[in-house]
Structure 1
Amino acid sequence: MLDTPQTQVPLLDMSRQADDPDGFAAALGQSFERFGFAMVSNHGVPDALVARAWAMTKAFFDLPEDEKRGYFLEGGGGARGYTPFKTEIAKGATHVDLKEFWHVGRELPAGHRFEQAMAPNVWPEHPEGFRQTFIELFAALDTAGSRLLSGIARHLGLAPDWFEHAVEDGNSVLRLLHYPPVPADAPEVRAGAHEDINLITLLLGAEEAGLELLEKDGRWLPVKPPEGAMVVNVGDMLQRLTNHVLPSTTHRVVNPAPERRGFSRYSMPYFLHPAPDFLIETLPGTISAANPNRYETPITAHDYLRERLVEIGLIKK
């Protein structure tokens, strides 16, 4: 693949995985090694469910500000429920992000061993059907994420089911994002340059453009999935686990062109996390003389997540 300004993140067909799992894994791994990103079609998340989720997302963010703020949990670090506009800031950024969001987590039964580490979900009264829609979407994205992790495992020379134990009852989060219209002279970007914390992120396409990744040569490359496709990117936990063989690439959401600044932007990233007690320890197969171990000391996923949430301003030390 030539590294020219026309280079694009490749679109991969996930339906290939059933008949040619090694071929799909190789293509996915190559895209991740090159960009830290991939785009996938035929990912198995039903179109009708996605359409219902978009409608629910827009309906929720159209609610009165006071009603939305009633679901903000002070001191909760944004783990569940509503987080107001201009709360989160990218690590090292000088301006807060121009967004508000809602978090849905995994539903755990009472008495589950992770109930102290994973907060219970908060569900709004309106719009009707919100809870059921996003429980279904969370499950569908969880399944798609497991398939992608199986491909990653194959690419790394691991057993295809290597990640299954790691992500069983994982602390994954579905984020519903609303970027309101922005003034023409706004100095901020909608979401500052950052890397994701988790293993991989699955992003259902937004109607309004703006997602860009930082190329190795310092150029920003737009990421524009075709309708119905999903963007997938490597997070910091997977980068650490793979000793940077799979890079967690800096990305951002830029303000739109002046003629589009009066329009909102919505997106629904699914941050796939391991279980809180999973030990992030460098995979032996990723260590070599040319790529020595960058992380001699392992860390649990829970402790790593907490460190990062402090850095982005969602929780206090």
Structure 2
Amino acid sequence: MSGVSLSSVPPLSLADEARDPAGFAHALGASFERFGFAVIADHGIDPALIARGWAETRAFFALPVERKAAYHLPGKAGARGYTPFGIEIAKDAAQHDLKEFWHVGRELPAGHRYRDRMADNLWPAELPDFKPTFLALFDALDRVGLRLLAAIARHLGLAPDWFAGPTENGNSVLRLLHYPPVPADAPGVRAGAHEDINLITLLLGAEEAGLQLLDRDGRWLPVAPPDGALVVNVGDMLQRLTNHVLPSTTHRVVNPPPERRGVSRYSMPYFLHLASDFEIRTLRQCITPQNPDRYPDPITADQYLTQRLREIGLLK
């Protein structure tokens, strides 16, 4: 470890966005340009709702293995329901991640044009409060994500509502993550070095140590937000859209120190995605003589997602 604290990435208050939209946009954009990450306090999500989310998460992962396995949908790339321990692997990694997870997606009405691309949610019959809790938390994170995207748009010189259309009914996913306790000699890391696929990620639960980002000088910096704060990072889709003006930073979750290896780690990342048929085309204002267009050929969000899911082993 470098000994450098992520206090150098100052927490930002989302309350400032309402008081000073331009100032907040500048601070958020500067944090993303420097680190690819930001720490967001005062996000306004009901603490009681978050607490219910943690309780339901722990209750599900405490179920017997055979009961959890009943909610695994083979061949569906983990898009909904349960993905067992040891399936996902970071791109180009030698070992699988030490985690299991559950995915909650967007609820779409009957006949919606995205129903053939976005599967219906699956809900554990053993936990009657699971569905209402996570539908409410999904919506809350979605609303916060749109506020952050409005600030990103301002930072890029776009209209504040620029992302509203491209993300309407987007293929976003709330992931409930469980990293089980590991033995003292556990190989690898809980989650290998990777970048996120999506537009931005909003993460609850990074207070338990382990999350690190790879800084420009090659050092791994620990991400240690204040209690209750969100960690937000740029995903590959936003990096591509902005021609790397906003970088998607490599990050990982390392095994804890020996005294914490008998403790489970839980987190809840919300992967905010574009609409499936949105065409990712480099923003003109992000192309300069010094930063020529890296991606002259556009690609739809769904095509890009499919490519990446194959790379990480969730889609064959």
AA paired with 1:131? K
- Percent identity over paired residues: 69
Q: Is 2:147 aligned against 1:114?
A: no
Report 1:229-308 matches (<5 A): 229-308=229-308
Note if contact 1:13-1:40 (Cα within 8 Å) is conserved in structure 2. yes
Q: Any idea what the Cα deviations from partners look like across 1:214-255, whole Å, max 9, x if unmatched? A: 000000000011111100000000000000000000000000
Q: Is 2:166 aligned against 1:183?
A: no
| Secondary structure in structure 1 of the residue aligned to 2:181 | coil
Note if contact 1:86-1:98 (Cα within 8 Å) is conserved in structure 2. yes
User: Using the alignment, how far apart are the partners of 1:249 and 1:206 within structure 2?
Assistant: 16
Note if contact 2:86-2:99 (Cα within 8 Å) is conserved in structure 1. yes
Note if contact 1:100-1:179 (Cα within 8 Å) is conserved in structure 2. yes
Query: RMSD of the TM alignment (CA)?
Result: 1.1
Aligned to 1:225: 225
Deviation at 1:146, TM superposition (A): 0.2
Instruction: Please identify, of 222-231 and 203-212, the stretch whose mean Cα deviation from structure 2 is larger.
Output: 203-212
Note if contact 2:207-2:227 (Cα within 8 Å) is conserved in structure 1. no
User: Using the alignment, how far apart are the partners of 2:9 and 2:237 within structure 1?
Assistant: 21
| Secondary structure in structure 2 of the residue aligned to 1:126 | coil
The list of structure 1 runs, each at least 4 consecutive aligned residues, that deviate by more than 4 angstroms after superposition, is none
Any unmatched runs of 5+ in structure 2?
A: none
User: Using the alignment, how far apart are the partners of 1:5 and 1:197 within structure 2?
Assistant: 27
Aligned to 1:162: 162
Any unmatched runs of 5+ in structure 1?
A: none
User: Using the alignment, how far apart are the partners of 1:51 and 1:309 within structure 2?
Assistant: 31
Deviation at 1:188, TM superposition (A): 1.3
The two structures have a TM-score, normalised by structure 1, of: 0.98
User: Using the alignment, how far apart are the partners of 1:206 and 1:154 within structure 2?
Assistant: 27
Note if contact 1:184-1:261 (Cα within 8 Å) is conserved in structure 2. yes
Aligned to 1:95: 95
AA paired with 1:154? R
Aligned pair count reads 314
Aligned to 2:139: 139
Note if contact 1:207-1:265 (Cα within 8 Å) is conserved in structure 2. no
User: Using the alignment, how far apart are the partners of 1:187 and 1:66 within structure 2?
Assistant: 25
Aligned to 1:192: 192
Note if contact 1:207-1:266 (Cα within 8 Å) is conserved in structure 2. no
Note if contact 1:32-1:247 (Cα within 8 Å) is conserved in structure 2. yes
Report 1:81-92 matches (<5 A): 81-92=81-92
AA paired with 1:274? L
Note if contact 1:36-1:246 (Cα within 8 Å) is conserved in structure 2. yes
Note if contact 2:181-2:264 (Cα within 8 Å) is conserved in structure 1. yes
Q: Any idea what the Cα deviations from partners look like across 1:138-166, whole Å, max 9, x if unmatched? A: 00000000000000000000000000000
Deviation at 1:208, TM superposition (A): 2.1
| Secondary structure in structure 1 of the residue aligned to 2:232 | strand
Note if contact 1:276-1:302 (Cα within 8 Å) is conserved in structure 2. yes
Report 1:31-42 matches (<5 A): 31-42=31-42
Q: Any idea what the Cα deviations from partners look like across 1:277-312, whole Å, max 9, x if unmatched? A: 011000000000000000000000000000000000
Report 1:201-212 matches (<5 A): 201-212=201-212
User: Using the alignment, how far apart are the partners of 1:140 and 1:87 within structure 2?
Assistant: 29
| Secondary structure in structure 1 of the residue aligned to 2:163 | helix
User: Using the alignment, how far apart are the partners of 2:10 and 2:171 within structure 1?
Assistant: 29
User: Using the alignment, how far apart are the partners of 1:228 and 1:179 within structure 2?
Assistant: 19
Deviation at 1:6, TM superposition (A): 4.5
User: Using the alignment, how far apart are the partners of 1:207 and 1:137 within structure 2?
Assistant: 19
| Secondary structure in structure 1 of the residue aligned to 2:178 | strand
AA paired with 1:300? T
Aligned to 2:4: 5
Deviation at 1:9, TM superposition (A): 1.8
